[in-house]
Amino acid sequence: MSSYKDLDIHKISLSLFYEVHPMSLKLPKYELYELGSQLRRSSDSIVTNIVEGYGRSAYKAEFVRFLTFSWASSLETINHLEKIKHLYGNLFRNDLIQNYQILSAKIYSFIKYVENNWK
């Protein structure tokens, strides 16, 4: 692995961010700066913390710390998507929540890998 771009969790989180961001702009106007903004920020935080953590990967504890932030942001994103689904029906693709659940599990597994196998 020569770059954070080689990590599956980076590729998946970036791809999901690119799906969620424009969809969040379809929320009703009064939600664009409330729930929509929270969703955009949490989705962006997932990928951003993976990148920042990788930049600190020479320090295992720092890498784990930022991966944990990423995992927490993934759970937050799922929560926002569930609220949107409840409030606004099928505004978003139905598989987004499932895709974020899969991503969350992958991030968690990678955290355990780093904890047990990183230099």
Counting runs of H as helices and runs of E as strands, what totals does the chain give?
Answer: 4, 0
Chain centre to alpha carbon of residue 95: 15
The structure tokens listed for 58 are: 């020479």
Q: Report the pLDDT value the prediction gives residue 89, as an integer from 0 to 100.
A: 85
Mean residue pLDDT across the chain: 95
Angstrom distance (rounded) from CA 83 to CA 85: 5
Count structural domains, the chain. Answer: 1
Determine the structural domain holding residue 107 and report its residue range: 4-117
Task: Report the CATH number that the domain containing residue 94 is assigned in CATH.
Answer: 1.20.1440.60
| pLDDT, tens only, 81-97 | 999 999 998 787 879 99
| pLDDT, tens only, 48-63 | 999 999 999 999 999 9
**What is the reported pTM?**
0.95
